[in-house]
């Protein structure tokens, strides 16, 4: 850090305290709920009386395993669809200087500006009344993909702007067809960003409530179970459920962080 | 046959092949559903069935009855205040990370974004565990012999805190990404020429980063305006917002047509907000150079 004047120091210190307070604000409730999931006296857990009861109750909850499986399936389906569409679109937009790229970029980012509940209810009405598709996993995956696609697109686009397209041109000059060029040159370089996009859309769909709830019918998923439980007042099983999901999310985010770093390193070789 | 071969070689064809699949998907599964609720909003519902009987009664109900307008107004006030709080808080934080984060700025900014991925419902549960009547804050106050703070329990203030908690990561991220491409040396030039820090901020930093900031504001405004989970669990008896009565139409009452109309109204309010914000964007003032990416 460069030398700072006393006046600037005051600014930096106050900004830093805002940042620290933001971290506390964001993480304290999450860590508190994890802590509470391990104690018997959940209302005022000081001093704590440790117990596994909430995990045992969660484990024997009839919908839990099914919900976990369904959330996984929705996550994987959405992740696969989103990352394939997003990778293909990002490559197309950056590789070919089409006049239409602005229009397509706007279309791909537009779901970010549509409220989740609106995507939920409009998909419900469209799938059920026009496509004749009842609420099920397919319906939920299709609806979730619209929103997750935008996030996947952003993740890949952010990394791909550093990609040197002359590598592709070099491959083409030596006679590689576009498909071969993709499999042997582009994909081996950009795979961390595609996997990153998959993981981001996986997490979003896995945890989604307002889109999934309206499109999954009567099939349980973890967020809809949590929503149902919460409506009848907080029950301690919810804490252990939250801890399980938070653990999974943070595990994936750590992978994601290393993927981003790896992406930087791999694309850094191009020396632009 | 030859011409088809030539077509396949053309960059435009390859561009289309790569970008069209996702675009078609979005047209079918995002745009068509939105159009379909626009159509259904002019129908009516009778005992859980949609009936194609064209009328504008649903819009008369929403825009003419005081209850609906009250909910709309509440949501609007909530969305504007939450966006403002997020903006005022996130700006200095994003500024600090972008300017002085150095090699740690990626991890510093990802740490603010990470909680977003744990999902709305769990984050609201976590917030209720802090702010609710048997939440940590209240129990702590009672244990140490203080009066409970009524305003933090089941109130619009509690909802607002919950919504800031949910969406502030978007604001930090949007402003941070904008500041990342901002040349901080411009400020040094201003200082050398005698500008006070606040003037340099108002005339350089703020306008040059307005696009990113505006995107942040919109990304917080929209989910806040449409919120239904947070007010339901933190807002208490008088805390219901527009999202709650919208959700109600698709739940117990099953009034699909009215619900569709409410969705359409929600969409247009958000669109009007985006257009108002868009009008304030001056590409030249924002340092736009004509490059698209």
Question: Predicted ipTM?
Answer: 0.91
- Shortest Cα distance from A184 to chain B (angstroms)? 17
B33 is a domain residue:
yes
On whether both B31 and B138 belong to a single domain, the answer is no
Confirm or reject contact between B14 and chain A (CB < 8 A): yes
Nearest to B36 among A22, A122, A142 (CB): A122
- Residues A164-188 pLDDT 10s: 888 888 888 888 888 888 888 888 8
Contact A30 B115 (CB under 8 A): yes
On whether both B89 and B20 belong to a single domain, the answer is no
SS (H, E, C) A77-93: HHHHHHHHHHHHHHHHH
Domain count, chain B: 2
On whether both B126 and B247 belong to a single domain, the answer is yes
DSSP-based three-state secondary structure for B49: strand
Confirm or reject contact between B263 and chain A (CB < 8 A): yes
- Provide the 8-state DSSP code for A161: T
Nearest to A116 among B33, B50, B226 (CB): B226
Confirm or reject contact between A176 and chain B (CB < 8 A): no
CB B200 within 8 A of CB B187: yes
- Confidence bin at A272 (pLDDT 50/70/90): very low
Domain count, chain A: 1
| Residue B33, domain extent | 1-40
- Confidence bin at A142 (pLDDT 50/70/90): very high
On whether both B30 and B62 belong to a single domain, the answer is no
On whether both B27 and B87 belong to a single domain, the answer is no
- Residues A83-137 pLDDT 10s: 999 999 999 999 888 888 899 999 999 999 999 999 999 999 999 999 999 889 9
- Identify the CATH number of the domain in which residue B147 sits: 1.10.3720.10
Nearest to A126 among B14, B22, B33 (CB): B33
- Residues A13-52 pLDDT 10s: 999 999 999 999 999 999 999 999 999 887 788 788 888 8
Pairs of residues, one from chain A and one from chain B, whose beta carbons lie less than 8 Å apart = 253
- Whole-number average pLDDT of chain A: 89
A69 is a domain residue:
no
Q: Which two tokens stand for residue B49?
A: 């069935």
State yes or no: pLDDT of A269 exceeds 70. no
pLDDT of residue A161: 82
Continuous H helices in B181-286: 185-192, 197-200, 206-208, 210-225, 229-234, 242-250, 256-279
Exposed/middle/buried for residue B268 (C-beta within 10 Å: 0-12, 13-18, 19+): exposed
Contact B121 A203 (CB under 8 A): no
- Identify the CATH number of the domain in which residue A174 sits: 1.10.3720.10
Contact B34 A230 (CB under 8 A): no
- pLDDT tens across the length of chain B (293 residues): 557 777 777 888 889 999 999 999 999 999 999 999 999 999 999 888 888 999 999 999 999 999 999 999 999 999 999 999 999 999 999 999 999 988 898 889 989 999 999 999 999 999 988 988 778 888 888 888 888 888 888 899 999 999 999 999 999 999 999 999 899 999 999 999 999 989 999 999 999 999 999 999 999 999 999 999 999 999 988 889 999 999 999 987 889 999 999 999 999 999 999 999 999 987 766 665 544 44
On whether both B107 and B147 belong to a single domain, the answer is yes
A29 is a domain residue:
no
On whether both B205 and B257 belong to a single domain, the answer is yes
């Amino acid at each position: 850090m460069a030398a700072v004047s006393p006046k600037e120091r005051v600014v930096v210190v106050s900004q830093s305290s805002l940042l620290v307070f933001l971290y506390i604000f964001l993480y304290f409730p999450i860590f508190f709920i994890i802590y509470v999931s391990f104690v018997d006296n959940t209302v005022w857990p000081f001093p704590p009386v440790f117990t596994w009861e909430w995990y045992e109750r969660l484990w024997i909850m009839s919908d839990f395993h099914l919900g976990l499986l369904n959330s996984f399936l929705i996550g994987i389906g959405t992740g696969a669809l989103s990352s394939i569409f997003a990778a293909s679109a990002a490559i197309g937009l950056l590789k070919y200087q089409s006049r239409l790229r602005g229009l397509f970029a706007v279309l791909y980012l537009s779901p970010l500006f549509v409220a989740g509940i609106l995507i939920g209810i409009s998909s419900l009405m469209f799938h059920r009344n026009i496509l004749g598709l009842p609420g099920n996993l397919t319906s939920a995956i299709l609806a979730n993909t619209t929103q997750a696609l935008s996030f996947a697109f952003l993740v890949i686009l952010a990394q791909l702007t550093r990609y040197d397209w002359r590598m592709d041109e070099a491959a083409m000059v030596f006679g590689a067809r576009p498909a071969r060029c993709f499999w042997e040159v582009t994909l081996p370089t950009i795979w961390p960003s595609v996997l990153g996009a998959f993981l981001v859309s996986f997490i979003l769909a896995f945890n989604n409530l307002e889109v999934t709830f309206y499109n999954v019918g009567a099939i349980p998923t973890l967020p809809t179970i949590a929503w149902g439980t919460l409506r009848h007042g907080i029950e301690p099983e919810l804490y252990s459920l939250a801890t399980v999901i938070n653990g999974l999310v943070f595990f994936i985010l750590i992978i994601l962080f290393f993927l981003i770093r790896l992406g930087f390193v791999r694309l850094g070789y191009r020396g632009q | 046959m030859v011409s088809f071969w030539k077509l396949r070689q053309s960059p435009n064809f390859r561009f289309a092949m790569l970008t069209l699949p996702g675009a078609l998907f979005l047209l079918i599964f995002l745009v068509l559903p939105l159009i379909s609720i626009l159509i259904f909003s002019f129908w009516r519902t009778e005992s859980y069935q949609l009936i194609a009987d064209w009328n504008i009664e649903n819009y008369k109900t929403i825009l003419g009855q005081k209850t609906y307008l009250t909910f709309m107004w509440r949501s609007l006030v909530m969305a504007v205040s939450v966006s403002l709080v997020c903006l005022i808080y996130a700006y200095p934080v994003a500024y600090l990370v972008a300017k002085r984060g150095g090699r740690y700025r990626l991890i510093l900014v990802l740490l603010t974004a990470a909680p977003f991925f744990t999902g709305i419902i769990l984050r609201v549960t976590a917030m209720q565990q802090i702010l609710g009547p048997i939440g940590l804050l209240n129990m702590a106050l009672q244990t140490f012999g203080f009066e409970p703070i009524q305003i933090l329990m089941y109130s619009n203030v509690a909802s607002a805190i919950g919504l800031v908690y949910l969406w502030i990561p978007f604001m930090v991220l949007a402003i941070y990404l904008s500041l990342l491409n901002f040349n901080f040396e411009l400020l040094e030039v201003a200082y050398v020429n005698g500008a006070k820090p606040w003037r340099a901020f108002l005339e350089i930093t703020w306008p040059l980063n307005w696009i990113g900031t505006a995107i942040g504001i919109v990304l917080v405004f929209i989910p806040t305006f449409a919120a239904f989970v947070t007010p339901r669990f933190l807002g208490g008896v008088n805390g219901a917002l527009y999202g709650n009565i919208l959700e109600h139409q698709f739940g117990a009452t099953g009034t699909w047509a009215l619900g569709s109309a409410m969705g359409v109204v929600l969409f247009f309010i958000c669109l009007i907000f985006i257009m108002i914000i868009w009008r304030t964007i001056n590409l030249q003032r924002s340092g736009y150079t004509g490059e698209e990416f």
